[in-house]
Amino acid sequence: MTIYDLHCHSTASDGVLSPRELVHRANEKGVHVLALTDHDELSGQAEAATVAQEAGLRLIHGVEISVTWGNVTLHVVGLNVDPQDPVLLNGLARNRGGRSERARRIGEDLARLGIAGAFEGASALAENKELISRTHFARFLIERGIAKNMKSVFKKYLVKGKPGYVTHEWASLNDALTWIHAAGGVAVLAHPGRYQIGREKMRLLLSEFKHLGGAGIEVVTGSHTQDQVPLYADLAVEFDLMASIGSDFHAPGEGGRELGRLTALPERCRPIWQAWN
Ligand code: AMP
Ligand code: MN
Ligand code: MN
Ligand code: MN
């Protein structure tokens, strides 16, 4: 059986392993086909591809694009993209552009609460200074002993309505899909179970996504509970979308799912790799 893991992060975004270390770890965990999907960033792809070739594992070039849809932030994964495509590269550069200013404002918001030096702290933890994410702030808050772990930090801070949350306008859904398609890739709605939208709005999202040429949704992901898997498998079938599988691994022992440690896609799903195999 071929083990797929089509969603994970390196130090090019908010992961803690370099692309090299990440591919080696995936190989050790028995992954055969890996997609590196850094947030709004492709700079880890070349190193990952070289190491994958050495290790005898198949690398699929990927990216996870931050999207604003109405008042909701969504993540769209592009898989099997050309990492050198200028349309995609330009779009991602534009999406990264606002992150530094946003990070400064997150820092100011936390400072008002008496937590000093958060911007500097998060920035120091981010290897890619264009890619300071809430994950880096979360790690800073944990280091400072202000929160116990990732789960608790994202309950009290950095989310809508809590200190350290700053609204931000990311790419539109249409832009994200246009960039992915320009680069020859397929678009996958990441971890649908994580969005705080009701059933009706989820259906609206899926029909709009499908209408724009979206190819699939993540059915098995580190972000879904076992109960959510059949729910999104049904929606994939209903909307004629393919199904993807990915750990969303960021760091060893940080609370997320380990590379390659996922249950199989339900039988009724059409796996996303049919799009490129
Ligand atoms: P950003 O792109 O800067 O808004 O950061 C988003 C990242 O924060 C996600 O990709 C996750 O890595 C992390 N994150 C957001 N919410 C949570 C959560 N509830 N638990 C753990 N990590 C989270
Ligand atoms: Mn992340
Ligand atoms: Mn995500
Ligand atoms: Mn992710």
Helix or strand holding residue 235 (H, E)? helix 228-238
254 C-alpha to ligand 4 centroid (Å): 14
Report whether pLDDT(255) > 90: no
121 C-alpha to ligand 3 centroid (Å): 22
pLDDT band at 164 (very low <50, low <70, confident <90, very high): very high
Q: What does the pLDDT look like over 183-212, one tens digit per residue?
A: 999 999 999 999 999 999 999 999 999 999
Q: Which of 225, 188, 229, 230 is nearest to 206 (CA)?
A: 188
Q: Which of 159, 165, 166, 168 is nearest to 194 (CA)?
A: 159
**With left for phi above 0 and alpha for psi between -120 and 50, is residue 161 left, alpha or beta?**
left
Domains of the chain, start order? 4-97+169-275 (3.20.20.140), 99-156 (1.10.150.650)
Pocket test for ligand 1, best of 16, 153, 154 (most atoms within 8 A of CB): 154
Q: Which of 205, 178, 177 is nearest to 191 (CA)?
A: 205
By the CB criterion, residues less than 5 angstroms from ion ligand 4 are 64, 248
Report whether pLDDT(223) > 90: yes
> Is the C-beta atom of 165 inside 6 A of ligand 1?
no
What is the share, in percent, of the chain residues with pLDDT greater than 70? 100
Do residues 100 and 132 make contact, with C-beta atoms less than 8 angstroms apart? yes
* Three-state SS at 242: strand
Q: Whole-angstrom Cα distance, residue 187 to residue 77?
A: 6
192 C-alpha to ligand 3 centroid (Å): 9
Return the sign of the alpha-carbon dihedral for residues 89, 224, 2, 234.
negative
| Among protein residues, the one whose CA lies closest to atom 17 of ligand 1 | 154
> Is the C-beta atom of 135 inside 6 A of ligand 1?
yes
> Is the C-beta atom of 150 inside 6 A of ligand 1?
yes
Report whether pLDDT(109) > 90: yes
> Is the C-beta atom of 133 inside 6 A of ligand 1?
yes
Mean pLDDT of the chain: 97
> Is the C-beta atom of 66 inside 6 A of ligand 1?
yes
pTM check: above 0.85: yes
Report whether pLDDT(256) > 90: no
pLDDT band at 236 (very low <50, low <70, confident <90, very high): very high
Q: Whole-angstrom Cα distance, residue 54 to residue 77?
A: 26
Count CA within 13 A, CB hemisphere, residue 51. 19
